[in-house]
Amino acid sequence: MHPSLRTAICDSLEIDFPILQAGMGYVARAELAAAVSESGALGMLGASTMTPEELREQIREVRKRTARPFGVDILFAKSPRREDGKLAYTGAVNAQIEVVFEERVPVLVSGLGDPGPFVAEAHDLGIQVLALTGNTKNALRLEASGVDAVIAQGYEGGGHTGRVGTMSLLPAVLDAVSVPVLAAGGLADGRGLAAVIAMGGLGAWMGTRFVATREAWGHDAYKNGIVRADDEGTIRTRCFSGKPARMLRNKTTEAWEAPELAATIQPFPHQFKQIQRWLGEDAYLAGRRDGKVEVGSCAAGQSAGLITDVPSASDVAARIAAEASLCLERLSGGA
């Protein structure tokens, strides 16, 4: 492995190479997280669709499968109420955080929102906190909150994502903050990881590539939908959650592009209930569990155009590390 792949984030997270698997809702469960961590990368559980009891069960299942570090990705949804002018979160978020703290999960990631009010307690428990950002303004806010690293996620990314492309966002965030910076969005192979490192980033956060693996909890139709998608096969839409999220294009995303429906979209997280009423079923379960890719919510980034197979998660991690190592060797004047 090229020495440049051993970045500072590897030492701080105790992983072998700087690949972090995103905590995709419904998809990132114990089997996937454990397989990724066991490979030497960092596996994540996606807490957003789990009850506290389910989250605790999944955390303990990961620990049965691997002794390597792993993390939990939480969407920090704000409560409509504020307490003493400070951020307040929904009851579900508070309950998930309580489980993470009680179980002493090594890494907590904010896939959405500012985890600031919880950072000090996390650090007291020996838990590292990372957070995703889609612009430099939020990167600075997250740095001020005390997070250990920020993940600059570009417009290309699957799921909830911002308005700035990765190639512009990463250097801007690197220039803006002093904490470690990783990148996400449009990254699915070793070339992307090598590019991140060449630009000064410490690693890559990858979601779509790990959805299309055997261990991912999801219907084969969803995984194969990613394989079939080209670089224009996704769309950024608010129709499923109320916040902009990149999904596989389908009949539902097309319908909600119409002005009369688009105007009715509710703010996060209330749109979840509205889209469920409109479809007559849970959009996330329809797409990810049941394989109804023509109507359900199937998060995927533009990197889907680079994905052509559904291998094991360990094969994916090893392949990315090997390809990145070769790219970096060429950049440094090797063969």
Give the CATH number, domain containing residue 326.
Answer: 3.20.20.70
Cβ contacts of 238 within 8 Å, gap of 6 or more: 244, 245, 256, 262, 265, 271
**pLDDT above 70 coverage of the chain, percent:** 97
Token digits of residue 271: 């749109």
- Is 207 found in the same domain as 263? no
Q: Is residue 190 part of a domain?
A: yes
Q: Is residue 125 part of a domain?
A: yes
- Is 168 found in the same domain as 276? no
Token digits of residue 207: 């979601």
Q: What is the pLDDT of residues 34-69, one digit of tens each?
A: 999 999 999 999 998 899 999 999 999 999 999 999
Number of independent structural domains in the chain: 2
Predicted confidence (pLDDT) at residue 128 exceeds the cutoff of 70: yes
- Is 249 found in the same domain as 149? no
- Is 315 found in the same domain as 172? yes
Q: Is residue 306 part of a domain?
A: no
- Is 261 found in the same domain as 178? no
- Is 128 found in the same domain as 99? yes
- Is 276 found in the same domain as 145? no
- Is 169 found in the same domain as 66? yes
Q: What is the pLDDT of residue 88?
A: 81
- Is 101 found in the same domain as 176? yes
- Is 100 found in the same domain as 8? yes
- Is 7 found in the same domain as 85? yes
Q: Is residue 140 part of a domain?
A: yes
Show the domain range for 261: 234-299
Q: Is residue 139 part of a domain?
A: yes
- Do residues 301 and 186 make contact, with C-beta atoms less than 8 angstroms apart? yes
* Mean pLDDT for the stretch of residues 185-199: 98
Q: What is the mean pLDDT of the chain?
A: 95
- Is 99 found in the same domain as 190? yes
In angstroms, the Cα distances linking 45 to 35, 317, 325, 332 are 12, 17, 27, 36
Q: Is residue 62 part of a domain?
A: yes
Token digits of residue 310: 């559904």
